[in-house]
Amino acid sequence: MNFFFEVLIGGLLSGVMYALVAIGFVLIYKASGVFNFAQGAMVFFAALTCVGFMDKFGMPLWLAIPATIVAMVILGLCIERVVLRPLVNQPEITLFMATIGLAFFLEGLAQLLWDSQVHQLVLPIEDVPLQSVLDRFNIVVSQFDVTAAAVCGVLVLLLAVLFAKTKVGRALRAVADDHQAALAVGIPLQRIWAILWAVAGVAALVAGLLWGARNGVQFALTFIALKALPVLILGGFTSVPGAIVGGLIIGASEKLAEVYIGPLVGGGIEGWFPYVLALLFLLVRPEGLFGEKIIRRI
Amino acid sequence: MFYREAGQFKTTYEADGQILPIRQDRVALLATLAVAVLVLPFVATPYFLSAILIPFLIFALAALGLNILTGYAGQLSLGTAAFMAVGAFASWNFVYRFPGLPILVAFALGGLCAAMVGIAFGLPSLRIRGFYLAASTLATQFFVVWCLTKIPALTGGSASGVITAQKIVILGYAFDTPQRKYVLVLLIVALMALLAKNMVRSNVGRSWMAVRDMDVAAEVIGIRLMRTKLLAFAVSSFYCGVAGALYAFAYLGTVEPEAYSLDLSFRILFMIIIGGVGSILGSFLGAAFIVLLPVGLNIVAHGLGLPTSVASNLELMVFGALIIFFLIVEPHGLARLWQIGKEKLRLWPFPH
């Protein structure tokens, strides 16, 4: 039974990490209707830039992080200016494909600026089991994962406040509904998009640092985006809580499936199990767990 | 001046409704085909045939398949490579398990298997749309590749996972040199492209386009959504399946799951974006572009003396930038540029 709980908790905590990436997606989709396939590339770019600052320029971590935030904000501004502004009011599919192009561009750029080796990233949080939990329940829970979960929680709270309580948040939601209508009522679309991509860049940095500290900063980070997709499908593209709940469900079920079903079918089912789970779920509820119901009219 | 339709009168409906109503187009197409069949195999070097022309034709076929699904029926898919893999493995299995089965029949059966998988994974499209569908087609990609690596029955129990593709022998004639393989691939692709062109001009194609433009409205005017969408998935996967079989048999020479990665799916998606979404010609132009671009970049990088790692990263950046560039400047791709060029030629040298 202990083993089951260990797997479950490990899964839930890694689900939090997926959710962290998924939040970046949701942020941009909810606020601009752009399905940002480049989020994984942004995670990679952010993590690699941060490590690059530390390795190449000898910056300490506390300096490298703000420097990377500045870089991500600049990147967000550039994306808005170069990619999004000419595509205002284009079909969603066009914007989606543009972000695929963006993903490739960022992957190339990141590896061109810094190099394509695997970098070590050391955060001041240790990846050791929490002693108190180990003593009381005899379950291994990593301190690192718990910290990541806490960071994720704070981020979600901040975003929830941003969307629900601020003027910018209201503008963001208006832009998501209809670019042109938002422009017509005087919402500065360009500024909103720039803010949004900058915030998404910062979210990508958080995810990149946590994932990078865990697995090393390397190209494989971009595949995290692929892990975040089923989370999104499950939770709904427009819901931050959905991303969290989806992340938890995907993380837990994926690990449990790998441990309990995997051996029966040859293992390695982690790659597709979340997708199939999400797909089956979609057949029941096509807009995801917390997604907005879509009403179609002619 | 050279491209003028004056004097070409259509006196029958057949003449008016043909694929290429302008004589110059017909002549140009026939000339291209004649050069491709009669001249290229003899003058082109084996390297050029096997490293550029054969993959170009195969990718064009796969792009054609994806274009039917995405360009004409409006269902975005990121699982193209999976359907190609199904086609390749199914063809391999048919030849392996039924010795004496003609290889063309095996290709067709491989395509049919891919079509069946396509229908199975197309079923969610009845409930979900757009991005949800695009994300869920990734399920196809991961699931199929996983099946092919994990289920020994599908790979004939090969330990390494890499299987040598059987030789292509048709009626006792072995297609073993680059020239012969090229001609075979060319004939198959040309035939299937003609079929596709006719399909999208017909009733079926029009109902696909109606579904793409607005599926609710299409349903209201009496198009059966389920049948139309699943047919698009089936036809598209059939094309991809045959392309996958050719990719394994005529190009790689091996059948392995790694060859059909997500990366390949993306490359084929790029082909249709750059070539032109919803255009048969665009599939060919896009495939040519994507096949030639890395070659060209390599030559440039080599000329500048850049290290290979820089060159490969530059390739990624150029790919990405081009996608964005095309989406912004010419969302209808190279095919549209070609069309504009023809219209300009029609007026040339007079501006009005």
Phi and psi based region of residue B96 (left: phi greater than 0; alpha: psi -120 to 50; beta: remaining): alpha
Looking at residues B154-166, what average pLDDT do you find?
A: 70
Alpha carbon distance A26, A246 (integer Å): 12
SS3 at position B21:
coil
- pLDDT value of position A191: 82
pTM (predicted TM-score): 0.87
Q: What is the mean pLDDT of residues B343-352?
A: 76
Would the pLDDT of B178 be above 80?
A: yes
SS (H, E, C) A104-170: HHHHHHHHHHCCCCCECCCCCCCCCECHHHHHHHCCCCEHHHHHHHHHHHHHHHHHHHHHHHCHHHH
pLDDT surpasses 90 at B208: yes
pLDDT (tens digit per residue) in A48-86: 898 888 888 877 888 888 898 999 889 988 888 888 888
CA of B173 vs chain A CAs: smallest distance (Å): 41
Residues of B with CB under 8 A from a CB of A: 76, 124, 127-132, 134-136, 138-139, 142-143, 146, 149-151, 214, 216-217, 220, 262, 266, 269, 273, 309-310, 313-324, 327-328, 331
User: pLDDT by residue (tens digit) across B32-80?
Assistant: 888 888 888 888 888 888 888 899 999 999 999 999 999 899 888 888 9
pLDDT, mean of each 10-residue run, chain A (298 residues): 81 83 83 82 90 83 87 88 84 84 90 80 71 70 80 81 82 79 85 83 86 80 81 82 86 85 75 83 77 70
**Domains of chain B, residue spans:** 44-259
> Does residue B28 carry a pLDDT above 80?
yes
pLDDT tens figures, B95-122: 888 887 888 899 999 999 999 999 988 8
Contact A237 B216 (CB under 8 A): no
Q: Which residues pair with B255 in a beta bridge?
A: B163
The least confident of A139-143, B110-114, B179-183, B263-267 is A139-143
Q: Do B316 and A233 touch (CB under 8 A)?
A: no
Per residue in B83-94, pLDDT (tens digit) is: 999 999 999 888
Give DSSP secondary structure letters for A241-289.
Answer: HHHHHHHHHHHHHHHHHHHHTHHHHTS-GGGTHHHHHHHHHHHH-TT-S
Query: B223-252, pLDDT tens digit by residue?
Result: 998 899 999 999 999 999 999 999 998 888
> Each residue of A210-249: pLDDT tens digit?
888 877 788 887 877 788 888 888 888 877 788 888 888 8
**What pLDDT sits at residue B159?**
60
Which chain A residue has the Cα nearest residue B318? A105
Query: Considering only CA atoms, which of B242, B291, B303 is closest in space to residue B90?
Result: B242
